[in-house]
Amino acid sequence: MIYTYKTKGTCSRQITVELDGEIIKRVEFLGGCAGNTKGISQIVKGMNAREVIKVFKGIDCHSRGTSCPDQLAKALEEALSLS
């Protein structure tokens, strides 16, 4: 399943996630800090989406109330709710 999520409150504008069941196959950020978003994408590849949600949910960036990792957690929650 490929799911595209429009981010809110971050420098990145969109996250595309490819899942095989609950396993993350690919994550791609549109915008954001290139080094950080590429690093996040590589770290989570092959991981269980529910584990990534537990670790990334609630991470804050510059007191925005969210961050790219937090937005990824939200994208994964939505994607899993559709499967």
**Cβ burial, residue 47 (10 Å; 0-12/13-18/19+):** middle
In the predicted model, what is the mean pLDDT of the chain?
A: 96
- With residues binned 3-state (H G I as helix, E B as strand, rest as coil), the percentages for the chain, rounded to 5, are 40, 30, 30
User: Is pLDDT of 83 > 80?
Assistant: no
Confidence of residue 4 (pLDDT cuts 50, 70, 90): very high
Total domains in the fold of the chain? 1
Q: How many percent of the chain have pLDDT more than 70?
A: 100
Here the CATH number for the domain that contains residue 13 is 3.30.390
50 lies in which domain range?
Answer: 2-82
Query: Average pLDDT, stretch 26-48?
Result: 96
